[in-house]
Structures are given as C-alpha cells and as structure tokens.
Amino acid sequence: MEDKIGVALGLNRLGVNYYNLGRADKSVDFHMKNLELSDKENSFAGFYNLGISFRTLKSYEESLQYFQTGLEWAREFKDIESECLSTGQLGVTFMDMGNFDAAMESFKVYFSFIY
C-alpha cells in the first residue's frame, strides 16, 4: 500500500489486539513491523507498546530499552504527556524487576509531571 503511516497504524492496532488476547509474543511482532514502517514523528506508540509487551514477557532489558527510547523521543519532540507515560512505565518495569531504588527515582520524576 502507498500509505505507509496508515499501514503502520493498522499494525499497531493489531499488536494491541494480540496483546489484549494474551498474546504478547505476537504483539511484539506487529509492533516491530509498526516501527519498521513508521516515520520518526509517529514512532512513539511502537516504542511504548513494545515496552509493555516485553515487560509482560518478562524480557525486562528489552522493555527498559523501548521505554527509554520512548522517553528520548518524547524529550526530542517536547511531548510532556509521552514523557510522563514513559517515565511511569520505566518505574513499573523497575519495580517488576525488584529494582526498587530505580523504580522510586522514575516515580519521583513521573509524579513531578502530575503534581
């Protein structure tokens, strides 16, 4: 198809649907394809959703990598909402890993956005 961004968005939705069906492994496949077709401006959802899917699969290093990439994207585009979301999800991932010090640092930053 000629509408690469439209196809990328469709792949994102398929990834979300597979995730909601309990198929985080399949979700990763579609979110990776989403990132392959997305331009830089439309890539945050792929980073964010890959972070969630990898965390569900207990692939914590990959999860952290994608949330960190999403955070960098948010800062580059000055997107405060995406920065807040990424920071909060980093905290949740650190918490799931048992790294409570790093989780608290992430949550402090997260709460600075909402208070």
Structural domain span for residue 29: 4-114
CATH of the domain at 85: 1.25.40.10
Task: Give the number of domains in the chain.
Answer: 1
Q: What average pLDDT score do residues 82-104 get?
A: 98
Whether pLDDT at 1 is above 70 = no
Percent of the chain at pLDDT > 90 equals 93
Place of tokens 């990598």: 65
Q: What average pLDDT score do residues 28-50 get?
A: 96
Q: Which two tokens stand for residue 74?
A: 């948010």
DSSP-derived secondary structure letter, 79: -
Q: What distances in angstroms separate CA 95 from CA 30, 77, 88, 91, 105, one per listed residue?
A: 26, 27, 11, 6, 11
Mean pLDDT of the chain: 96
Q: What is the pTM of this model?
A: 0.94
Q: What distances in angstroms separate CA 7 from CA 3, 24, 27, 60, 84, one per listed residue?
A: 6, 20, 16, 28, 27
Buried residues in 9-23 as b, exposed as e (16+ CB within 10 A): bbbbebbbebbeeeb
